[in-house]
Structure 1
Amino acid sequence: MDQSGQHTFFESEQVLLVLAKHGETQGKLYLYTLVDGDWQTDLADVPVWLGRSGLTLSNLKKEGDGFTPQGYFPIKRILGKGKKSIRNLEYTQIRRYHFWSDDPKSKHYNQLLTKKEKGAIPLWESEIYDLFVVIEHNTNPSLPGQGSMIFLHPWMEAKPTSGCVGINREGLDKIVETLDGYKSPFLIISLLDEN
């Protein structure tokens, strides 16, 4: 654990890996779990869509730039419209009163809200928020303009996202069923080494 009591990537026993080539808006997703000292493959080569601008380093990400941030992100929160039992991770069942702020001027920027405010996006009204994993980019602390609403969510369209990672619903369901908070899961989004 680090000084704040948070688990570090090196303690993780579960890794969700997204890889893509430089400049590409499509990539592949893999899910691995450490079982009895060996890494087990739970998912492999699952196609995903990335932001319309491709990948950028997390510290270079800006609001509205269309990039998906690269980096190491602890998996802590899942939200969805249905009742779910999530293993040892925070789960919020979305209601009509749930919103997410993507207004850099708001003191609640990049936070889940339980009442509407200017610039807040209603989560209830879109299918892409039926079930999603929060990608913990710019969430603690949340710095104005550094990017918001970065999720791993269902994606039915054959086109890039606005900066999230889009996946077919079957793959997302499998991920959510497999994740276990006791294994300190991490998401890695990285460029594929082309050498």
Structure 2
Amino acid sequence: MKSIDSPKSLASWLHFLGFSLKSKQFQCQKINCITVLFSFLYFFSLCPLSGEGNSPPDSPLLDSEQILFITAKPGETTGFLNFYTLNEGEWVSVLEKIPVRLGRSGLISGEKKREGDGHTPLGIFPIQRIVGKQKRQIRNLEYNEIRKNSHWSDSPSSKNYNQLIKHREKGAVSLWDSEIYELFVVIEHNTKPAVPGFGSMIFLHPWNDNKPTSGCVGVELKWLEELVNQLDGNKFPFLVIVET
């Protein structure tokens, strides 16, 4: 990551990334703007520079008006959740520094994630699907209500690998029998398409145990409920998992 050591260099980075200090993206009067700026710049600055005259990098986050950050230190199995939404031209904090549990093996880059390794994958993921056991009004996002025969396949040999299925299948996990599937956001790792063995069932789900997950992100149900109530598919929400 390039260091940003002056207002001039900060403005240069923002201009390169397609932002304006006068644009709605950075009218951050209601929260600590530095937090948001750092988060945006951290990810966008990972884009390679090939020389002067480059056009702004093509990042999906440029159009997002809701961003959920999961952050943790390397090797740690605990981290924090921060959620921001753009409201009437201002970035507003919805949730800040909510404790989360990560996989027992910590974080790993998404391309290195493998089935059963206990890692939570790093990456930038569109928030598109929510799954739960109750009837819910979800704003402009796909919602699947869990039934008694709802399963998710984590068997690399299955043609339904890393997919939600509505029937029993050998090697598939029942979503009906566990509290951790009461409500969850699908983290779209290895989903479209699902490559056998590269990791499955990566969710943001309820977690009350004082121990790591198997690779998901676990958070208290009350915070997950608040998050889901605020999400709006028309704001192109993204989930970003990063080491700090």
Using the size of structure 2 for normalisation, the TM-score is: 0.75
Q: 210, 214, 221: which one pairs with 1:169?
A: 221
Alignment match, 1:56: 108
Q: C-alpha distance in 2, partners of 1:142/1:83?
A: 28
Select the structure that is richer in helix: 2
Larger CA deviation: 164-173 vs 29-38: 29-38
Q: C-alpha distance in 1, partners of 2:68/2:223?
A: 12
The CA deviation string for residues 154-179 of structure 1, in whole angstroms up to 9 with x for no partner, is: 00101000000000011100000000
Q: 139, 148, 164: which one pairs with 1:96?
A: 148
Q: Gaps (5+ residues) in structure 1?
A: 1-6
Q: 53, 68, 76: which one pairs with 1:16?
A: 68
Calculate percent identity across the aligned residue pairs. 58
Instruction: Output the aligned Cα RMSD.
Output: 0.9
Alignment match, 1:36: 88
Deviation at 1:39, TM superposition (A): 1.0
- The answer to whether structure 1 residue 79 and structure 2 residue 131 are counterparts is yes
Q: C-alpha distance in 2, partners of 1:10/1:160?
A: 32
Select the structure that is richer in strand: 1
> Which aligned segments of 4 or more residues in structure 1 are displaced greater than 3 angstroms?
none
8 Å contact kept, 1:75–1:135: yes
Deviation at 1:97, TM superposition (A): 1.1
**What amino acid sits opposite 1:120 in the alignment?**
A
Q: Count residues in correspondence.
A: 186
- The answer to whether structure 1 residue 108 and structure 2 residue 160 are counterparts is yes
**What amino acid sits opposite 1:55 in the alignment?**
L
**What amino acid sits opposite 1:146 in the alignment?**
F
Q: C-alpha distance in 2, partners of 1:59/1:85?
A: 34
8 Å contact kept, 1:9–1:74: no
Alignment match, 2:98: 46
Using the size of structure 1 for normalisation, the TM-score is: 0.94
Q: C-alpha distance in 1, partners of 2:85/2:143?
A: 21
**What amino acid sits opposite 1:122 in the alignment?**
S
Deviation at 1:180, TM superposition (A): 0.4
State which structure, 1 or 2, has the greater radius of gyration over its C-alpha atoms: 2
Q: C-alpha distance in 1, partners of 2:71/2:243?
A: 6
Alignment match, 1:126: 178
Q: C-alpha distance in 2, partners of 1:163/1:129?
A: 14
- The answer to whether structure 1 residue 180 and structure 2 residue 237 are counterparts is no
Alignment match, 1:4: none
